[in-house]
Amino acid sequence: MTALLEIDRLLDDLEAGLREKLEERGVTSPALIGIRTGGVWLADVMSKRLGLQEPWGELDISFYRDDFSRIGLNPKVKPSSLPFSTEDRDIILIDDVIMSGRTIRAAMNEIFDYGRPASIILATLVDLGARELPVQPDVTGRVLALQSHQRVKLRGPDPLHIELQETGH
Amino acid sequence: MTATDPSKNSLQLTADGQLRHFLTLDGLNRALLTEILDTADSFIEVGERSIKKVPLLRGRTVVNLFFESSTRTRSTFELAAKRLSADVLNLDINTSATSKGESLSDTLLNLEAMASDMFVVRHSQSGAPHFIAESVTPGVAIINAGDGRHAHPTQAMLDMLTIRQHKGGFEGLKVAIVGDVLHSRVARSQIRALNELGAAEVRVIAPATLLPRDVESLGCTVEYDMTRGMKDLDVVIMLRLQKERMEGALLPSEREFYRLYGLNQEKLALAHPECIVMHPGPINRGVEIESAVADGPQSVILNQVTNGIAIRMAVMSMAMGGQMAERSRKLAGRAQG
């Protein structure tokens, strides 16, 4: 398991997947958006690896979460910041882990409130399955099947590493 | 004055410490006030987007219940609710059912029966929003938009947001509140907030006739001479002279008041050179403030208005979130039990 989660290899695979996808779609100047917090660290790394000139954006999806009516507002919400217009842009949306797909749904709703993008490519470092919504990443570093007592978490930003957590049971 | 009143606390907060009503700043600690300011910062960013709306209160109904007229406060509450995607009903109660003899409780129960989720209440009686939250419609989130001479907590918090934006924080700040403190619900809430957030000194500057008895007990020092009071100030907050609330001869004349307590450029020059000038509005130009100051480079009066929308979005979404979280916990408890 630990070998599978070696961060440099995951980042290499994510970068290679993204390059391939961008070429396939004919996208030459994508705008990169990371979802806070892990996705923002990844946006920083991938922006450098892909040699993008433009600063990346960061999203805090707290105002778009679908569990607001159950748990209330996230007390640690921070402002989103997109230093470019999303209108007609090809976007790469990046996050550390995808599971239910709810975070991505919320993030896409938020992106559309900034304008109508031409396209969105979804990139995640780790795909844990267990989807509850029909949302699939276009590019992923690794697909993992975890035991029910296991969790993964991206730690960072310096150094970036993936942690496999064993919960109580 | 900074002591926590547990009864007010348990009315405003859920068992988990989330806001569920917003009635007064009494009993709210620095962490919660900071959370309100931080949340408002995020809503400021929403106000700069092409679509200035988030879906937090979609499908919820917010009723603006103004038993006392107000333009700015009501319209910023309305805009805040709409930017949270709520449905908004504006009721001017002076011209409504109560004039036909319906009691306050009956009016509110009817509104509750229309599945309202939040009442924004302004009332000339101190304690009216508290009474509604406690006894009339406990399942509806109540936001105090100003009650009598008691409190105006959203105004005080938008002032705190404005100060934090311009000064970076509260540590070491010297702040003065000038003018009609006696009739001001804003001043009470401001003094409370500044003390809780850690300002170095809160000064009130006013004639004795416009100060409440025992004003020092609110947590401030008193200065009757404005020339002395302006010294070293980082922030000066001018209050509106509430002519409509004046009873008896509290003032010799408006002109005399302006000469002694009006803010003009000469008096402002006595403060710290980077002192900011604030005013909750509406401004009486030439009564408490000179136009050259109100429109000058140190004035942040219009920032206050913009910040008012963000603060109200923060408080409304936090209180609604707390109410709904509590409701869903109760439902889950019932299902288990």
For chain A, how many structural domains are there in total?
Answer: 1
Residues 6+ apart with CB under 8 A from A60: A36, A77, A78, A79, A80, B42
In this prediction, residues B246-268 reach a mean pLDDT of 84
Q: Give the minimum alpha-carbon distance from B326 to chain A in angstroms, rounded to a whole number.
A: 8
Q: Do A71 and B35 touch (CB under 8 A)?
A: no
pLDDT at B6: 47
B18, B55, B325 ranked by CB distance to A64: nearest: B55
Residues of chain A with Cβ-Cβ distance to B41 below 8 Å are 78-79
Of the pLDDT bands very low, low, confident and very high (cuts 50, 70, 90), residue B96 is low
Task: Count CA atoms within 13 Å of residue B281 on its CB side.
Answer: 18
B18, B44, B53 ranked by CB distance to A113: nearest: B53
Please report whether residue B262 resides in a domain. Answer: yes
Residues of chain A with Cβ-Cβ distance to B35 below 8 Å are 75
Question: Would you give the DSSP letter of residue B217?
Answer: G
Residue B267 annotated as part of some ligand binding site: no
Return d(Cα B265, Cα A79) in angstroms, integer. Answer: 37
Q: Which helix (H) or strand (E) holds B144?
A: strand B141-147
Please report whether residue A72 resides in a domain. Answer: no
Residue of A nearest to B84 (CA): A63
pLDDT digits (tens, 9 = 90+) for A93-146: 999 999 999 999 999 999 999 999 999 999 999 999 999 999 999 999 999 988
Report ipTM (2 d.p.).
0.87
- Which residue would you say has higher pLDDT here, B265 or B112? B265
Q: Find the range with the poorest average confidence among A122-136, B217-231, B250-264.
A: B250-264
| Domain span holding position A26 | 3-67+79-166
- Report percent pLDDT > 70 for chain B: 93
pLDDT at B104: 79
Please report whether residue B1 resides in a domain. Answer: no
pLDDT at B1: 36
Statement: residue B331 has pLDDT above 60: yes
A68, A76, A112 ranked by CB distance to B321: nearest: A68
Q: Give the minimum alpha-carbon distance from A69 to chain B in angstroms, rounded to a whole number.
A: 5
Statement: residue B9 has pLDDT above 90: no
Return d(Cα A134, Cα A100) in angstroms, integer. Answer: 9
pLDDT at B252: 72
For chain B, how many structural domains are there in total?
Answer: 2
Same domain, B158 and B284: yes
pLDDT at B98: 60
Please report whether residue A74 resides in a domain. Answer: no
pLDDT at A11: 96
| Domain span holding position B80 | 6-152+306-336
Please report whether residue B63 resides in a domain. Answer: yes
| Helix axis angle, A38-49 to A7-25, nearest 10° | 70
A63, A71, A115 ranked by CB distance to B46: nearest: A63
**Helices vs strands, H then E, count in chain A:** 4, 7
pLDDT digits (tens, 9 = 90+) for A49-97: 999 999 999 999 999 999 999 999 999 999 999 999 999 999 999 999 9
- Which residue would you say has higher pLDDT here, A121 or B337? A121
Q: Do A63 and B321 touch (CB under 8 A)?
A: no
pTM of the model: 0.91
Please report whether residue A73 resides in a domain. Answer: no
Residue of A nearest to B14 (CA): A72
- How many interchain CB pairs under 8 A, A with B? 59
Please report whether residue A118 resides in a domain. Answer: yes
Which of B295, B316, B309, B287 minimizes the C-alpha distance to B52? B309
Residue B152 annotated as part of some ligand binding site: yes
Q: Which helix (H) or strand (E) holds A48?
A: helix A38-49
pLDDT at B139: 84
Same domain, B73 and B129: yes
In this prediction, residues B203-208 reach a mean pLDDT of 96
A72, A77, A113 ranked by CB distance to B325: nearest: A72
Of the pLDDT bands very low, low, confident and very high (cuts 50, 70, 90), residue B192 is very high
Please report whether residue A114 resides in a domain. Answer: yes
pLDDT at B3: 41
Peptide bond into A157 cis (omega under 30): yes
Residues of chain B with Cβ-Cβ distance to A113 below 8 Å are 49-51, 53-54
pLDDT digits (tens, 9 = 90+) for B42-84: 999 999 998 999 999 999 999 999 998 888 899 999 999 999 9
Same domain, B76 and B157: no
Same domain, B295 and B236: yes
- Which residue would you say has higher pLDDT here, B333 or A46? A46
Q: Give the minimum alpha-carbon distance from B156 to chain A in angstroms, rounded to a whole number.
A: 20
Same domain, B25 and B69: yes
Residues of chain B with Cβ-Cβ distance to A115 below 8 Å are 50
Strand, helix or coil for residue B62: strand
pLDDT at A154: 92
Same domain, B238 and B325: no
Query: Residue B184 belongs to a domain with what CATH number?
Result: 3.40.50.1370
Query: What residues in chain A have their Cβ under 8 A from chain B's Cβ atoms?
Result: 60, 62-64, 68-73, 75-81, 109, 112-115
Statement: residue B336 has pLDDT above 70: no
Please report whether residue A36 resides in a domain. Answer: yes
Residues of chain A with Cβ-Cβ distance to B324 below 8 Å are 68-70, 72
- Say if residues B226 and B177 touch (Cβ distance below 8 Å): no
Q: Please, what is the average pLDDT of chain B?
A: 91
Query: Residue A128 belongs to a domain with what CATH number?
Result: 3.40.50.2020
Statement: residue A169 has pLDDT above 70: no
Q: Give the minimum alpha-carbon distance from A24 to chain B in angstroms, rounded to a whole number.
A: 31
Return d(Cα A119, Cα A29) in angstroms, integer. Answer: 12
Of the pLDDT bands very low, low, confident and very high (cuts 50, 70, 90), residue B279 is very high
